[in-house]
Structure 1
């Protein structure tokens, strides 16, 4: 009887000693799995815990890090709005043998940015180590075997235009550059409208909304949320490079669950305005798609989708320029005091400096009172 009891105890011992490994998917808004790999035994489970944004846990192979493995495990996309959710979603992988398991995130641009994971990778001295796997993912730029090729639409033909726009009490005279398809300047019917754009909406590397249309006199208000983002004006052909004489609101670190500073832009004409977040730590926010546009011409080649594709291509091709003039990792920089070179806007920022608002640019349009 004693022998039978001992045999039964030994039979369940491997199960009792099985380890559950917790792995965070996209913690703190980063494009990483943490830890990056684990060394597990047969019977162990890997508990993949999803954090904000929209990630996957998808099995691949060493030679094709960012291509789903036929018949491999996949969590599918699991969007998470906030780390404050009472129950973060998870996905469990059971280890059936000690062969390496290679994992990546299928979200566009994430694997190519190094968002990969492994179970039981060979040690660092091997040419099949985790570091080699991650380097190959970055080298192959996601699912590509070479750098992404995104064609820039031909340059638009710009011309100088002067418009006079009136409402019941004022006349606006604006001289600006424009191109075919740009909406005719009109004053907002019923008076100016305030458009709200959230910087880092829902903890994501995104502006929300990212593409809006605004009339002359409208106000666009940027409100910063958690993490450390910026709002920098750029141009269509170079989405992630500051526009010479464009506006730059600097970096504004904001704690979780706190609403940060806000900046208001007054629209002076309907020329397109392009912009991005200049943060590059741990990955380029612009290259991850954190861009916005105001009055993009959606009927032509220089539309918002094309602008977004050009921005994401900079990450894949590693050509993002960090010329924001501020330290990307932490802290904040003083906002630039320039207005857009196309005269399309004015900027006013409330940075909570002793209750005094900071005027960042002067109004480019001339307001003449009605006689």
Structure 2
């Protein structure tokens, strides 16, 4: 009878467990989808592998792209094409401590292909966004130098910007309309400027690795014109938590972002090329120079940053300098970049013109008992 009681209790536990499905590399993207789950003891996380060749490997927060010695590892799962049976790998949750995961394929972790179970929420310094940013900042390297490890442990990543979607009625002169937009704490209401103005920002003037001014406020309908000076710079939109990477490379919602491309200017030239964007809403805009090493030296800018909160310009620039301008756009190895999606979300500013311990169950294990 005692055995039957234990068996019945075990069956109840199994029956009440929740299964979480996670796609690995779906649609050619270097990401887990979803990227985090919150699970109870006994729950099962089921990873399904999509083309091409990925792994599900356990790491640690401080070394996101290094497999822990006793951690689980699916091994490489090569998938030729969608359709048919897709391989899977299961992890059963034994406790509620955070579990950190990454893809071991060359270059993938450095592009942010990481995952977590029971990660603390922002603004906790050990949140998933902080974990992913650390993977991006070390460019997915398999070893971390003592200086990187020390700086990573001493530096606290600012919290991710928090936004809410609101609907507001806007009245300008004799016109009234309703608009829905992303609002951040401290951002002004979505009222267009009565007289739109153009804001000028110089890029690399006087040989300095700087945008000047580097932090401005602009109203809806205003334009911002970037004027390039010698030598060779870019104006590239990024995000607060990944200051030195193009927004298109890091956005989980397929934002494209603007990018001027490189604008080489000779030292004796008087014909200075420009690049212009239009302000469509009051959400903060973050940007950087894509030239090698420039972002890591603080060559970043912001438009409508909320200076009263933690996601201010100084924090953005400090984060750029902390990650030393790490860019993961030149990853090596067998990895392939994800194709661009036809479903995109418009960025805040649009380009107008450019002049000149865990139990691991591998799927298929049951076959041993059939």
Give the TM-score range, shorter chain.
Answer: 0.3 to 0.5
Give the structure-1-normalised TM-score: 0.47
Larger radius of gyration, structure 1 or 2?
1
Name whichever structure is richer in helix by fraction. 2
Task: Give the TM-score of the pair, scaled to structure 2.
Answer: 0.47
> Which structure's relative contact order is higher, taking Cα pairs within 8 Å and 6+ residues apart?
2
